[in-house]
Structure 1
Amino acid sequence: MARIKPQALLQQSKRKRGPSRISATTIIFYSLILVLVVFFLFSAYKHWSHRSRFASENHIAISQAENSFGNSKKSELPGYAVLNTSKGSIIIEFYKESAPEVVDEFIDLCQKGQFKGMLFHHVIKHYVIQAGENQGTGATEDWSLRGKHYTSMKHEAFMLGTSKGKHLNKKFDLFITTAPIPDLNEKLIVFGRVIKGEDVVQEIEEVDTDEHFQPKISIGILDVTLKQKI
């Protein structure tokens, strides 16, 4: 058996311990894989980023559209009513902000002709005039007995309101004050005020009444006209 020379053994050992060469094809292959992974991650990030931004913008646009629609709908509601009475016209401005539900109900009843032919069935001089379907005298008599004992003035005259208990008997009474009433919030839901026709209110106030504050002659609302502007 031939002996291997020491020099040959040394060279053979170096070749075994040395790093193996990586082919160019392998480098290119793995480089392409890396590029594809980076491209995929970038595309996914761009897609979800765009989708998130679009959803946010779409939500904002919907919210703005809803607000715009709500404001538009609110602005289209009538802001005034003209009560055409047998004594003349009384122009009312609604308090849309403070009593929106009552204003909406009043407008709905006007459109249904609820107040056409309605009589002023109670008149208390220097206090209120009342129109409506409720012919009871409890509210106005209570006002006449208690209200004039107060001296503080919390409300002006010519306010339009309806009874807080109207939903109990399904009636909608109209009260127009003819003098400042201190405890008005305890009695009524105020939803408007007279801006023109105070003289008509005062003329109705001056009619003769019986001991129950009922006018001796018929005075009523002929019809109601709703207006957006005056």
Structure 2
Amino acid sequence: MARIKPQALLQQSKKKKGPSRVSVPTIMVYVLVVVVMGFFLFATYRHWSRRSMNQLADSISIDEDDNAVINSKNFDNPRYAVIHTSKGSVTAELHKESSREVVNEFIDACKKGHFDGMQFNRVIKNFVIQGGNVDRPGAVEDWAKKGKHFGRLDTSLKHEAFMLGTSKTRSDGGGFDLIITTAPIPDLNQKIDLFGRVVKGEDVVQEIEEVDTDEHYRPKTRIEITEVILKENL
């Protein structure tokens, strides 16, 4: 058998142990994988960073709006109602403790936008102003006649000035109207459900009370409620 020379064996050993070369396509695949992973990590970081910032902004916005107007479509337990009219704004405190059912009915009407655009259809000086969508002159004129003679009546004056109420005739299809008394008048518990008191904007009520009216106490110029906003705090 022929002998292999030591020099030949050394050359063969170097060929076997030498490092293999990495091909260019393999290097490109590795680089692409690294780039994709880096992009994925960057996108994930941006997503969670933006989400955290949005949550922080929402939290700050809620804190700043604690005393702001509460959306009447989402708020179920307000303490005040701001009645915006074409003459100005009137703020009333709602008496839910003593008139829970009527206040709940009022809140539900606000959510439905029932009062938006409602006209003051009766203005009786030293008596009441009334906003409603149903024109029924008879009932209010009867109240006026009674009011003109209240000095002769022996009755308690439970209805003070600047009280907020609604006519009991709403249950007979008259709709939910708004009545604000402008003076102490005889007990009208058979006619009106009281559910609040004006705490701001008495001057606006008095300005509406002074408008010119016809023989049926209807204002000669249109005065309307533009909207009613519910609030938790003043």
Give the TM-score range, shorter chain. 0.5 to 0.7
What TM-score do the two structures reach when normalised by structure 2?
0.64
Runs of at least 4 residues off by over 3 Å: none
The answer for unaligned runs of 5 or more in structure 2 is: 1-74
What TM-score do the two structures reach when normalised by structure 1?
0.65
- The answer to whether 1:198 aligns with 2:205 is no
- The answer to whether 1:187 aligns with 2:191 is yes
* Corresponding position of 1:40: none
Bigger helix share: 1
Contact 1:85 1:220 in 2 (8 A): yes
Deviates further, 184-193 or 211-220:
184-193
Cα shift at 1:154: 2.9
Structure whose alpha-carbon radius of gyration is higher:
1
Classify the secondary structure of the residue corresponding to 2:107.
helix
* Corresponding position of 2:99: 99
Cα shift at 1:134: 1.4
1:174 maps to amino acid: L
Cα shift at 1:170: 4.9
Q: Deviations over 1:170-220 (max 9, x none)?
A: 511111000001122122000001000000000000000000000000000
Percent identity of equivalent pairs: 61
Q: Deviations over 1:50-75 (max 9, x none)?
A: xxxxxxxxxxxxxxxxxxxxxxxxx9
Change (3 A) 1:141 1:170: closer
The answer for unaligned runs of 5 or more in structure 1 is: 1-74
- How many residues are treated as equivalent by the alignment? 156
Q: RMSD of aligned C-alpha atoms? A: 1.4
Contact 1:76 1:228 in 2 (8 A): no
- The answer to whether 1:229 aligns with 2:233 is yes
Cα shift at 1:76: 5.9
* Corresponding position of 2:213: 209
* Corresponding position of 2:181: 177
* Corresponding position of 2:147: 147
